[in-house]
């Protein structure tokens, strides 16, 4: 994969670049500002951008604001956001524009190299990769009366794992059920959320977004 890194912490940026190159990926640009992020994506059109949620000059929300702007200028550009803590408002805002190719991970997840690289691949492929802690905190804010409330406890469990970017096979292993059972749960989720009978991969992303957006 061709990757743009957006991180103002030099040590972390260099560490990410080394990790990605070791895994066989190409780091096409490393920048440390929101403006640099916009320029790098326009110039290189990377397979994915990895961006810190907080960037200079205020270290508040420059990263996520730039991510939203990148997606406006380059629809479906895959972006994986890294954050030191779960920042619910920013996570929800990033998801609100819709579409796949979005990830939100806590920075300590980077140290789990296989998980981090797997998340990169899922997001670059148009899927989602949401940190379990992000999902947990977003759900505590979901409004009552949303279609997700009609799901059974097992269906919500399956959908939560889908939000993490897990495949049906992964979900089956984690829940100790058959893959056929997971497939049935996923089908029920699509029906209850009113998702159209179109491409299953796209519907999967729509289901995840429905699960996470309405907070």
> What is the value of pTM for the model shown?
0.75
- pLDDT number for residue 91: 65
pLDDT at 215: 42
User: Where would I find the H helices in 23-73?
Assistant: 34-44, 62-73
* Residues of the chain under the 50 pLDDT cut: 215
Give the pLDDT score at 43.
Answer: 97
Q: Residue 31 is encoded by which pair of tokens?
A: 């920048």
Q: Rounded distance, CA 106 to CA 156, Å?
A: 22
Return the HEC string of 165-180. CCCHHHHHHHHCCCHH
The bridge status of strand 2-6 relative to strand 26-31 is parallel
Amino acid 45: pLDDT: 96
Q: What is the pLDDT of residue 75?
A: 87
User: Given this model, what pLDDT does residue 214 score?
Assistant: 52
Give me the pLDDT at residue 204, please: 72
Chain segment 93-150, per-residue pLDDT in tens:
676 666 678 888 888 878 888 889 988 998 999 888 888 777 766 666 555 667 777 8
Q: Tell me the CATH number of domain 142-213, given options 1.10.3720.10, 3.30.390.30, 1.10.10.10, 3.30.428.10.
A: 1.10.10.10
Q: CA 207 to CA 79: how far, in whole Å?
A: 19
DSSP letter string over 84-150? SS--HHHHHHHHHT--S-EEEEEGGGGGSHHHHHHHHHHHHTT-EEE-HHHHHHHHTTPPTT-GGGG
Residue 183's H or E segment, with its range, is: helix 179-192
The pLDDT assigned to 189 comes to 87
**Cβ atoms 155, 177 nearer than 8 A:** no
pLDDT at 95: 67
Q: Which CATH superfamily is domain 2-131 in?
A: Response regulator (3.40.50.2300)
pLDDT for the residue numbered 210: 67
Location of each CATH 1.10.10.10 domain in the chain: 142-213
Q: CA dihedral in degrees (112, 115, 66, 126; nearest 10)?
A: 170
> By CB neighbour count within 10 A (0-12 exposed, 13-18 middle, 19+ buried), where does 68 fall?
middle
Domain(s) of CATH 3.40.50.2300: residues in the chain: 2-131
Q: What is the pLDDT of residue 27?
A: 97
């Amino acid at each position: 994969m061709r990757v743009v890194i957006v991180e103002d912490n030099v040590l972390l940026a260099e560490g990410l670049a080394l990790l990605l190159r070791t895994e066989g990926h190409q780091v096409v640009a490393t920048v440390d500002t929101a403006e640099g992020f916009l320029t790098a994506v326009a110039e290189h059109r990377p397979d994915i951008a990895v961006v810190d949620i907080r960037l200079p000059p205020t270290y508040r929300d420059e990263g996520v604001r730039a991510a939203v702007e990148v997606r406006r200028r380059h629809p479906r550009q895959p972006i994986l956001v890294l954050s030191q803590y779960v920042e619910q408002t920013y996570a929800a805002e990033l998801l609100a524009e819709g579409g796949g190719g979005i990830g939100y991970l806590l920075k300590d997840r980077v140290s789990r190299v296989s998980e981090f690289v797997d998340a990169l691949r899922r997001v670059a492929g148009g899927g989602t990769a949401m940190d379990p802690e992000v999902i947990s905190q977003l759900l505590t804010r979901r409004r009552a009366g949303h279609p997700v409330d009609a799901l059974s406890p097992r269906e919500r469990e399956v959908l939560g794992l889908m939000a993490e970017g897990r495949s049906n096979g992964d979900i089956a292993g984690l829940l100790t059920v058959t893959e056929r059972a997971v497939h049935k749960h996923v089908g029920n989720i699509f029906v209850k959320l009113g998702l159209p009978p179109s491409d299953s991969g796209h519907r999967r992303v729509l289901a995840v977004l429905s699960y996470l957006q309405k907070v």
